[in-house]
Amino acid sequence: MNAFSYVRPRTLSDGLRLLRSGASALAGGTDLLGLMKDGLARPELLVDLTGIEGLRGWSRAKGKGLRIGALTPLVELEEAEELHRAMPILRESLRDAATLQLRTMGTVGGNLLQRNRCWYFRDQATACWLKGGTKCFAVEGENRLHAILGAHECVAVAPSDLVPALIAYDAEIALASSRGRRTMKLADLYVAPHGRERREHVLRPGELITEVRVSESALARKGAFQKAMERKAWSFALVSVAAAARIERGVARDVRLVLGGVAPIPWRVVAAERGLEGSGFDEAACAEAADRALQGAAPLRDNGYKLPLARELVRRTLRSLVV
């Protein structure tokens, strides 16, 4: 690890003031400290946010939807029964996200901003395109785990399990920096690295996620999450699928379908959602949506299996909303 200074501010405004250039925000540390140990992150100043009051915990005020503080440990979301009743997809998506220890340490904000797991990116000795190099080594290399959809110069996949689940509920995030505050749709946070955008999200320098919000109307949706991984615990998704819809008298409205592990960003498939709108998630509609979800897929040498895998996972996830 490089040498750095460490501060633990007590207020958000102090924290934001400290997050100048060269500084990194530290929450659970489960991703950032690993990156720093591997020399992939080299902050001069580490701003430990865990002392800041008011960013931890969640609330659901009547009619105002759900608010989740960015510093809430993942395990707290997973264990709260009330939250589980309100939005079961949270527990479903979190329990396979990492080990108990890591879910205890890891926070919601950190999960949303975790870096990808591409082994070329994570290898200090490989100057891949995303790290400023000239080429993506995965395109012609070992790419079993890489993207089949939506990739440009970089074929790493979005790693989070929680994010597709939240996007299926149209989650918004609140952001703060020393220059002000803004909100955006969580889905808009992510960007497939391309051109001069050698990054996975559009967070501005010095900006923090403070809160995740899910509206009351979205909470009326039924959701489902499924994840295929190569062992039964603590393994990143080969493919994950989050689906949600409001189901009125057997008819689907506000359908959302988001895939993880297949593209550099959480892969929302609006075309498939539209096709399902008004359907009853019958077999034929789900199968068609599964095909649509993978339209335009361009598998690499070793990851073609993700196509049938994702197709089947989409079909089953959608079906599980009604069966």
Any contact of residue 284 with other proteins (CB under 8 A)? no
Give the whole-angstrom CA distance, residue 148 versus residue 13: 41
CB of 239 to other proteins, least distance (A): 8
Considering the complex, state which of residue 29 and residue 65 has its C-beta at the smaller distance from other proteins: 29
Considering the complex, state which of residue 160 and residue 240 has its C-beta at the smaller distance from other proteins: 240
Give the whole-angstrom CA distance, residue 32 versus residue 257: 29
307 and 294 Cβ atoms separated by less than 8 Å:
yes
Give the whole-angstrom CA distance, residue 217 versus residue 258: 18
CB of 23 to other proteins, least distance (A): 13
CB of 30 to other proteins, least distance (A): 6
CB of 224 to other proteins, least distance (A): 9
Give the whole-angstrom CA distance, residue 131 versus residue 37: 16
Task: Lay out the site mask for other proteins across 294-323 (x = CB under 8 A, - = otherwise).
Answer: --------x-xx--xx--xx--x---x---
Give the whole-angstrom CA distance, residue 222 versus residue 303: 31
Task: Lay out the site mask for other proteins across 44-83 (x = CB under 8 A, - = otherwise).
Answer: --x-x-x---------------------------------
Phi-psi region of 306 (alpha: psi -120 to 50; beta: other; left: phi over 0): alpha
Residues 135-194, interacting with other proteins (CB under 8 A): 141-142, 144, 161
Inter-CA distances, 141 with 41, 46, 155, 158, Å? 24, 34, 11, 19
**Residue 137, SS3?**
coil
Of the candidates 221, 306, 315, the residue with the CA atom closest to the CA atom of residue 275: 315
Other C-beta atoms lying within 10 Å of the C-beta of residue 250: 10
Residues 28-47, interacting with other proteins (CB under 8 A): 28-30, 33-34, 36-37, 46
Find the part of the chain contacting other proteins (CB under 8 A) among 26-34, 62-70, 173-181, 187-195.
26-34
Who contacts 305 (Cβ-Cβ below 8 Å, separation ≥6)?
Answer: none
Find the part of the chain contacting other proteins (CB under 8 A) among 5-13, 107-115, 181-189, 212-220.
5-13
Which residue ranges make up the site for other proteins (CB under 8 A)?
1-6, 8, 26, 28-30, 33-34, 36-37, 46, 48, 50, 92-93, 95-96, 98-102, 104-105, 117, 119-120, 122-123, 125, 141-142, 144, 161, 225-236, 238, 240, 302, 304-305, 308-309, 312-313, 316, 320
